[in-house]
Structure 1
Amino acid sequence: MKTCPDRAQALDLLRKYNKEHFHIQHALTVEAVMRWYAENLGYGDEADFWATVGLLHDVDFEQWPEEHCKKAPELLAEIGCGEDFIHAVCSHGYGLCSDVEPTEEMEKVLFAADELTGLIGAAALMRPSKSCQDMEVSSLKKKFKDKKFAAGCSRDVIKEGAERLGWPLEELMDKTLQAMRSSEETIAAELAKL
């Protein structure tokens, strides 16, 4: 069984180094998406580990964007994160800012879903509902093809992530959309309290 810090410790660490609403919302979103994936891919007993890695995957990004995934091990050590946890966090930046390759299925899911949550979130904001509840994969695919839309979300990383998992791109989009739908209200409620 993989060990990870408890959620309160992880959230405190996140908030110590992240003040911007956007970064905290992204962290909570990726946390929820990773928990959904763990439970739906048969890793329910590791759901806390998957979720906490998701929560802290960008812990160093707001303050040290030039050292993203390089500063993270030092920050994660503050709350006693183990090597497997640190490897998982750093692997999501593979080929961009890290040479730590995603090898475990959880790391491949994080690599694939991280950028995609950003694209889905941006697409949701363009909808009258401001939500992903009524978003279909077909409309997400249109946004994906429009390179000017949410240009900061790397389509290459999303495609590579789907390939690493051995899934068609549409399957990755559908699953990640389901995961985000299932947690949207909970995240909004938690953000309102922070």
Structure 2
Amino acid sequence: MTREEAYGLLKEYVEKESLIKHCVAVQAAMEELARVLQGDEERWGVVGILHDIDYERYPQEHAVKARELLEEKGVPEDIIRAVQSHAYGLCTDVEPLSDMEKAVYAADEMTGLVNACVLVRPSRSIMDLTVKSVKKKWKDKAFAAAINRDVIQDGADRLGMPLEELMAHTIEGMKKYADVLGLVGEAQ
């Protein structure tokens, strides 16, 4: 499955622009993590695109209904399992075991934190966002309180990656899609 096919499939089930942008953000982080961890960038990106395919229509069955939807479309098992594992401990009992699964588990929440950090910057741009800024907001539990920091830390630990490194790779990946994500802001 290509990124374009995955994106087309996502658009069949997701209409909200904010959720589509979130899936693209996770795609971006996944591609960067694949590059760093010697994974298949396209395949990992597909997982990022598809990870919330069932969230809008089936919120009560999130990450569970995804299996059925993706199986019907002939999506490979490793991609389906990774999609399900991103919600480990929250909606599914599919534990992230492969690097691709661990990456999507960590990237899902981390992209939300990075996005929130960008939106409060004077420049409203990811291009000048630093790990130091994200780390400062990380420590402020009232900031982006819905972001599950325990999942992010668990994901980083599962990857054997320091938290700051996960932040850096997420920022770097999202920079490549800044225009699509609406995160270019005023900094160039």
**Could you state the TM-score of these two structures normalised by the residue count of structure 2?**
0.91
State the distance in 1 between where 2:68 and 2:57 align: 13
Tell me which moved more, 29-38 or 149-158. 29-38
Question: Deviation per CA, 1:111-166, whole angstroms, max 9, x where unpaired?
Answer: 11110000100110111221111111111111111111111110110111111111
Q: Which residue of the other structure, out of 98, 101, 112, is the alignment partner of 1:104?
A: 98
Residue 120 (structure 2) pairs with residue 126 (structure 1) = yes
| 1:137 paired to 2:154 | no
The correspondence for 1:27, drawn from 23, 27, 42, is 23
Contact 1:30 1:117 in 2 (8 A): yes
Residues 57 and 92, structure 1, Cα contact 8 Å, conserved in 2: yes
CA RMSD of aligned residues (A): 1.5
The one of 163, 167, 170 equivalent to 1:176 is: 170
Amino acid at match of 1:65: P
Is 1:7 equivalent to 2:3 in the alignment? yes
Distance 2:79 2:181 in 1: 23
Segments of 5+ residues of structure 1 without an aligned counterpart are 190-194
Deviation string for 1:2-46 (max 9, x for gaps)? xxx233331122111111111000111111221122122222xx2
3-state secondary structure, aligned to 1:133: helix
What residue is the counterpart of 1:90 in the other structure? 84
Measure, in 2, the Cα distance between the counterparts of 1:62 and 1:151.
21
Alignment of 1:54 onto 2:43: no
Deviates more, 1:79-88 or 1:91-100: 79-88
Shift of 1:185: 2.6
| 1:32-87, Cα deviation, whole Å (9 max, x unpaired) | 221122122222xx211100011000100111111111100111123211211111
- Give the Cα separation in 1 of the matches to 2:43 and 2:144: 29
Corresponding letter in the other structure for 2:169:
K
Any conservation in 2 of the 1:9–1:79 contact (CA below 8 Å)? Answer: no
Retained in 1: the 8 A contact 2:13–2:53?
yes
TM-score where L is the length of structure 1: 0.89
Question: Is contact 2:55-2:62 (8 Å) kept?
Answer: yes
Does the aligned pair in 1 maintain the 2:32–2:169 contact within 8 Å? no
